[in-house]
Amino acid sequence: MSSVAAARSGLTYLGLDVHRDTISVAVLRPRRDAAEVDRIANDEPSIRRLVAQFPDRRRLRACYEAGPTGYELARLLDRLKVHCQVIAPTLIPKAPGDKVKNDRRDCRRLARLHRAGELTAIRVPTVAEEAVRDLCRARVDMVADRSRARLRLGGFLLRHGRIWREGSTWTHGHERWLLAQRFDDPALATTYAHYRATLSARDAALEAIEADLAGWYDRPPFADAVARLSAYRGVTRLGALTLASEVGDWRRFASAPQFMGFCGLVPSEYSSGRSTWRGRITKCGGGHLRAQLVESAWAYQHRPQATLALRRRQAGLPPEVVARAWRAQLRLCGRFRRLHARKQCRQVVVIAVARELAGFLWAEMTA
């Protein structure tokens, strides 16, 4: 709908600039070019009073930027029968010379661009979907905490000349070596004990949250998606749950390239006239989704095979799902091998494979 048509349709647009304690509200009424601006408290009674000012809520159109305040405002407005969209912040049009930013200008711009149809809305997850997604992201945070604890312990040992030279770290052999370390100085021994205790606590917390996540593999709303996604090599059931919770509705993407762009795995491009320039990947969208796809893509560096773990995950699935997963494995393993023969950087190779894996997974979930 054009801005002129929207202005004549009798719709009132609310641009909301949301913060923790306050909301700046721009009210753009029909057949008006300038919006009225007010500031209210960010709580349910204030929002209800704002909506009550308009007798016909069906003619209200509200929007606000996605951010740290989450989706509770959108859900509240939905319960109040107000149509609300959550806007992707990075896709809001902005003039190159616009160097002034404040809450009043931001909410006015949101209302004006919303009426003009120039904003891109994101999908608001259900409460159940967001809850499982938060649990998956909490696990990622705990993995990062464990990595930091390992780095601190390794740095302490390196400073005191205790160096592991028998292969990979954090294996059973490395653990036995850590248990055998002794320090004569009481302060050093106490420091080492604290580092070890911290790492043990991080390991226990990670095991506990992974056990909690395992209870969601076979429960709605992600049971079917987890079963089908985990049929693909490199996608464990935990990885499948992470992908499913991050994406939600796969059918909102019209094509595989559109989904690849959502994952931020497509190269950036600047082309004009006869010149074409492509750079690094855009890294748009959620980093958790992209990281999981990249982690899964590393599995395709090996030759195609149906491992025991993969066969267990595929047990009981329809034959067509298993066949699609095998075709994807043949394609991606060959792709990894050919690119690795040409490219010096393996990270470039795995990103390319992750992009194609995203396409295969989209095709599976929309089949």
Res 344: pLDDT: 87
The residue-averaged pLDDT of 206-234 equals 97
Q: Pinpoint the alpha helices (H) of the chain.
A: 3-8, 44-52, 72-79, 103-116, 127-159, 172-179, 186-214, 223-229, 237-247, 256-263, 287-297, 308-314, 319-342, 346-365
Res 2: pLDDT: 55
Amino acid in position 27: V
pLDDT of 6 over the 80 cut: no
The per-residue pLDDT for range 10-20, each reduced to its tens digit, is 899 999 999 99
CA gap 327, 323 in Å, rounded:
6
Using DSSP's 3-state secondary structure scheme, residue 281 falls into strand
pLDDT of 118 over the 80 cut: yes
pLDDT of 3 over the 60 cut: no
The residue-averaged pLDDT of 266-278 equals 81
pLDDT of 4 over the 70 cut: no
Res 156: pLDDT: 98
Res 268: pLDDT: 87
The per-residue pLDDT for range 294-345, each reduced to its tens digit, is 999 999 999 999 999 999 999 999 999 999 999 999 999 999 999 999 988 9
The per-residue pLDDT for range 223-249, each reduced to its tens digit, is 999 999 999 999 999 999 999 999 999
Q: What is the DSSP letter of 267?
A: E
Q: Containing H/E element for 39? A: strand 36-41
Res 176: pLDDT: 97
CB 336 within 8 A of CB 353: yes
**DSSP string of 156-193, one letter each residue:** HHHHTT----SSSSSSHHHHHHHHT---SSHHHHHHHH
CB 229 within 8 A of CB 235: yes
The residue-averaged pLDDT of 43-52 equals 97
In the predicted model, what is the mean pLDDT of the chain? 94
pTM, two decimal places: 0.90
